[in-house]
Structure 1
Amino acid sequence: MASDQKFVDFVLEQVENAGEITAKKMFGEYGIYSDGKIFGLICDNKLFIKPTNSGREFIGDIVEAAPYPGAKPFFLIEDKIEDRGWLSELIRISVKELPVPKPKKKKKQS
């Protein structure tokens, strides 16, 4: 089941002071970015955050799940998704720990 735009918009509205938050459609689901750095996924109207050590400490009692079959486990955020301050802080501390994306290679012209 693909995620709906209302849920994506809700998640984006919840996050504040964590950089420029955007969503990009990917295979019927969404990648969630902060200043161009991917930090999570929205799949089946559920929010998944990439696991980091600081995120694990912040959450405490974590729930991990694969966002799609064959994926590595992410942090599944359900209970506190409506807690704007908590969610924003989780994203801020997680993004700090994630690597900077590698520059994309230019396509060769033939």
Structure 2
Amino acid sequence: MRIVATKQTTVDDIVEQAKGAGQVAAKKMFGEYGLYCDGKLVALVCDETLFAKPTEAGRTYLGSVTEVSPYPSAKPYFLVAGERWDDADWLAELIKASAAALPAPTRKRSSERSNKSIS
């Protein structure tokens, strides 16, 4: 059950605050947003709330964490308090630490074509 749809301005603000982490971008996913740093999915923005992908580096950086599912049936992510978004250096460090702890994104392979001839 969706509480409130995330506004584009919220996502734009988060991306702007986190830009010190590297190449930060947001992509619309399933009606909400995925936050990427250097091609790695590092967080979700759902219901006007920021959820960082759980990593040991993120846990260490945050100290005390609250784990919450960003949407029904999702694995828990780290809840990032809204007042922390205004601290660009703090947010960029969280995003950078999370991205560094995640594996490089895998490239999607194009589907292999069958060499069957049509008779």
TM-score by length of 1: 0.92
Q: Computing the radius of gyration over CA atoms, which structure comes out larger, 1 or 2?
A: 2
Q: Deviations 1:32-67 (Å, cap 9, x if unpaired)?
A: 101211111000010011011111011111111100
Which stretches in structure 1 are left out of the alignment for 5+ residues? Answer: none
The aligned residue for residue 117 of structure 2 is none
User: Aligned partners of 1:61, 1:4: CA distance in 2, in Å?
Assistant: 28
What is the aligned counterpart of 1:50 among 48, 53, 69?
53
Amino acid at match of 1:47: L
The aligned residue for residue 100 of structure 1 is 104
1:91 paired to 2:99: no
Identity of counterpart residues, as a percentage?
A: 48
Aligned-CA RMSD value: 1.4
User: Aligned partners of 2:9, 2:32: CA distance in 1, in Å?
Assistant: 13
What is the aligned counterpart of 2:36 among 24, 33, 38?
33
Structure number with higher helix proportion: 2
1:7 paired to 2:21: no
User: Aligned partners of 2:34, 2:18: CA distance in 1, in Å?
Assistant: 15
Q: Which runs of 4+ in 1 moved over 4 A?
A: none
Q: Give the 3-state SS of the residue equivalent to 1:55 in structure 2.
A: helix
Alignment CA distance shift 1:24-1:109 (3 Å):
farther
Which stretches in structure 2 are left out of the alignment for 5+ residues? Answer: 115-119
Q: Give the 3-state SS of the residue equivalent to 2:25 in structure 1.
A: strand
